[in-house]
Chains A and B, each alone.
Chain A
Amino acid sequence: MRDVGRLSQIGYRIYVWVFICCAPLILLSISTPLKAEDVIRFGASLSLTGRMATEGRLVKDGYDFYAKHINERGGIPIKGKKYKVQMVYYDDESDPKTAARLVEKLIVEDGIHYLLGPYSSSATFPASSVAEKYRVPMVEAHGAATTIFERGYKYVFATLNTVDQYTGGILNMAAGLKNPPRTIALINENALFPQLAMDGGENQAKQLGIKIVYKEKYPSGTKDLSSMLAVVREKRPDILLAGGYTADMILLVKQAKEMGVKPKMFGLMLGPTLPGFVNSLGKDAECLLEPIQWSANMAWKDDVFGWTASDFARIFEEDFGYAPDYHPPQSAAALLVYHHALQKVGVADPQTVRDAIADTDIMTFYGPIKFNDKGMNIGKSMAVIQLQNGKPVVVYPENAAQGELVYPIPYPK
């Protein structure tokens, strides 16, 4: 018989020595950071790995884009001096409670006073609580849930439009068509943003007189939606809207095809404009709709860099090798908010900077940014794209449209 005892004898001795040696090392190694003088540090917890890693990377690229270009110009000019920008990131692995912990680490251990948001409402929700607790401003760009802003927090601001606007564009567009769709099915992942999005969609559909034939949520991490989609097929909805993150959306489109679900309009809250989405699905991605926060053909111009939206897209593609969807400029815009605020009050304590942020009223390549008293951006609104020949084409609102909506989706016989 194997000798468990012998190993134990050695083991105990090792254990005691390791413990004696390591304990002081551990205690010593956790040190407080030094502050460099002419550098402004921004910190963020990002989902660099995990199920939202694809989106997380876009967010980081957006932040890095700003940092690169502002540093190329010598830094942010604040009251006669130029301050270089340094970004501090930690990977929260797409886990909200890790995000909260990391934000606290950034504040307490790393001494960061200007926070940026993580990716997803699920992570922003707890992370913003930490910021609020420590009275440190957080300008987030990727948490759209309205509930984030309904807690009476003073330190949290968002550059993006909130979730209640996500489904509005598609549904308004649908209601205005010649042969408008009559029925709708709504499915979502059981998580904060998708749930709120579909709840919003339900309300809007009711107001527009579109009949809801199916509304259900599926558990996070589900691998198999086929039976759910089989039921959806039976209901024959004219519109199918789905809320979830990119990975689920790819799965959904695949299995919808397998199950033979053929709606006249098919909208996803996220996915179609993400790089890699069209590659993963090929022809199956045709005619999918997505509400977007920004597109490169918008007529906005920035006063810090002098770029229009399309300039941004071009330069970004040169730097990072892919055409940006709305996530990178959304991130960069958050830094622009700090840029303007710091210029106004100097490198001041977090509370003063917070007050300056609350007064923001600026125009950027991402669009106008102006915060209401809850911290939401009421300056701009959202659009809708449709994938046509593998490319996103803005189809709504009319004054920004690049092309015609293809309706109904032409399925092969």
Chain B
Amino acid sequence: MALFWQVLINGILSGGLYACAAIGFSVIWGVMNLINLAHGSMIILGAYITYTITSATGVDPFFTLPVSGCALFILGFLIQKYLINHVIGGSIFMTLILTFGLDLLLINAYLLLFSADLCAITPWYAGLGWEWGTVKVPYTRVGAFVFAIGLTLLLSLFMNRTKLGNAIRATGFDKDAASLAGVDVFKVYAITFGIGAGMAGMAGTLMSVIYSFSPVTGEIFTMKAFVIVVLGGLGSMPGAIVGGIILGLAENFTSVLLAPGYKDAVSFFLLVMILVLRPRGILGKRFYAEVRD
């Protein structure tokens, strides 16, 4: 029985983190109809920023969140404005492949700057945690989970309560109508991409405390983001949380019930199933799946 609780907690904690990693991806896709294949690499960049700062100054990694968030926001904003903007109206292939090319550039840059070695950040409280009976809950994971959910909720608040957030949502619903309401759609796109990148960067900071990373480890996160967005529904913030937690639970329970080797197979199997049975996801709104080409 204790095993069940341990696996459940593991699943929820990693799920929250996954959700944070996926939310940026979801926002970009939902609003701009753009799949950002460089998303995983942006997460890794956040991790590297944290690593650099922590190695140099010894400050606790959680404090670097604002830095990675802002840095990635600016980078995302610039990338959208000067690069992706040119193909934003084109076919799906184009945006997919453009972001893929961007991903390659980023990975190569990391290889040159940081080398291919695996990095890990080990704060003084790593390995320690709460113990309830035999169930262990490490501090690092709880910390990451709390921040992840917090950031996701903050983003949700921003999207629903602020003028700019509403403008972003409106642009996602109907970009022509939004421009008729006075919204500068291209600026909104740039801001949206910046937000997506910023969330990715902060997710990277949270990841870096728990997992080790290297230039090529970003792809896994992009794949997981796909699965989470499809599971939870495109453009839905609570959907990303739900999707993330479902994925986290699915992976951990599969590890135990089937075999650890099938962890990844299960998540992709889920992906295909949901796409076939309910493409709009669990909490997604119908029109996204239909209006979007």
Contact = CB atoms under 8 A, between A and B. Distances in A.
- A contacts B directly in the complex (CB < 8 Å)? yes
A362 interface: no
Interface string B111-142: 10001111010100011010100101010000
Given A53-B115, A223-B220, A233 B255 contact: no
B212 A7 contact: no
Contacts of B115: 49, 53
A38 interface: no
Contact of A227 (B2, B252, B261, B264): B252
Contacts of A226: 10, 14, 252
Given A54-B117, A94-B116, A250-B212, A218 B260 contact: yes
Interface string A333-366: 0000000000000000000000000000000000
Interface string A223-252: 111111011011000000000000100110
Contacts of B276: none
B3 A216 contact: no
B90 interface: yes
Contacts of B6: 227, 230, 259
B259 A260 contact: no
A3 B264 CA distance: 42
Closest 6 CB pairs of A and B: A49-B116, A227-B252, A223-B211, A227-B255, A218-B260, A230-B6
Interface string A185-228: 00000100000000000000000000000001111011111111
Interface in B127-180: 127, 129, 131, 134, 136, 138
B101 interface: no
B53 interface: no
Contact of B263 (A94, A222, A259): A222
25 contacts: A2-B85, A2-B86, A4-B89, A49-B115, A50-B216, A53-B117, A54-B118, A93-B116, A94-B116, A218-B263, A223-B217, A226-B14, A227-B11, A227-B251, A227-B252, A227-B255, A228-B260, A230-B6, A247-B118, A250-B118, A250-B212, A251-B211, A251-B212, A254-B127, A280-B120
A254 B118 CA distance: 15
Nearest to A257: B127
Nearest to A187: B260
Nearest to A217: B261
Contacts of A251: 211-212
A284 interface: yes
Contacts of B252: 226-227
A227 B260 CA distance: 9
A41 interface: no
B89 A1 contact: yes
Given A226-B14, A227-B11, 4 more contacts: A217-B260, A219-B261, A224-B211, A227-B255
B87 A230 contact: no
B264 A234 contact: no
B186 to A, nearest CB: 8
B265 to A, nearest CB: 9
Contacts of A227: 6-7, 10-11, 251-253, 255-256, 260
Nearest to A282: B122
Interface of B: 2-3, 6-7, 10-11, 14, 85-90, 111, 115-118, 120, 122, 126-127, 129, 131, 134, 136, 138, 186, 210-212, 214, 216-217, 220, 251-253, 255-256, 259-261, 263-264
Nearest to B3: A234
Specify the main secondary structure of chain B where it touches its partner: helix
A4 B259 contact: no
A53 B116 contact: yes
Of the listed residues B6, B118, B131, the one surrounded by the most CB atoms of chain A closer than 10 A to its CB is B118
A2 B88 contact: yes
A221 B214 CA distance: 11
Interface residues of A, number: 39
Contact of A219 (B87, B253, B260): B260
Contacts of B11: 227
A51 interface: yes
Nearest to B255: A227
B264 A219 contact: yes
Interface in A32-91: 48-51, 53-54
A234 B211 CA distance: 23
Contacts of A228: 255-256, 260
A228 B217 CA distance: 21
Contacts of A319: none
B263 A219 contact: yes
Contact of A217 (B2, B87, B259): B259
Contacts of A54: 117-118
Contacts of B2: 234
Of the listed residues B2, B214, B220, B251, the one surrounded by the most CB atoms of chain A closer than 10 A to its CB is B214
A258 interface: yes
B10 A230 contact: yes
Contacts of B216: 50-51
B120 A250 contact: yes
A7 to B, nearest CB: 7
A287 to B, nearest CB: 16
A262 B65 CA distance: 34
Nearest to A228: B260
A258 B127 contact: yes
A232 to B, nearest CB: 10
